[in-house]
Amino acid sequence: MSAPWDVVATVPDPELPAVTIADLGILRSVSIVDGRVVVTVTPTYSGCPALAEITADVRRALTDAGYADAEVHTVLAPAWTTDWITEAGRRKLAEYGIAPPGAVSPAPSVSLPLSVRCPQCGSPDTRESSRFSGTPCRALWVCRACREPFEHMKAL
């Protein structure tokens, strides 16, 4: 039987199936309490509609691996940050066509726009076309070099 962390860590994000919930840093902890697996997850944004799905997917993965009656809890603190996305997660996002976020600025009141690299052609000559996109965590960008639109996961 695989260790419970290894089972849960492979659960893909329902809206970004190329990355797992461990890659995104939304899987906070996996422990065993009185013989039951207890998993803690945190939402990316308060309104993340995928959280119910993630909870169900985690429970299903554990049941399939032989861990019945798993508990899945949601925590809000500490608040999720894109700094928790792993190196593997960043690489997978870029391969999937989503430009990964830069480091979160230490002073959030200072807006310092850094270039976002086009995940298609790699050019840094890109511009933001909309601050919001298909999910709350993404923004819409366009590459000036290859002219392709792409999504960027915004630093949070």
Binding site for another protein (CB under 8 A): 43, 45-49, 75-80, 108, 111, 129-134, 136, 140, 156
CB of 10 to another protein, least distance (A): 26
| 87 versus 131: smaller Cβ distance to another protein | 131
Pinpoint the alpha helices (H) of the chain: 4-9, 21-24, 51-64, 87-96
Residue 134 and residue 151 in contact, taking contact as beta carbons nearer than 8 Å: yes
- Gyration radius from the chain CA atoms: 17
CB of residue 77 to another protein, shortest distance in Å: 4
- Beta carbon nearer to another protein, 65 or 116: 116
The DSSP letter of residue 91 is H
Residue 48 or 61 having the CB closest to another protein: 48
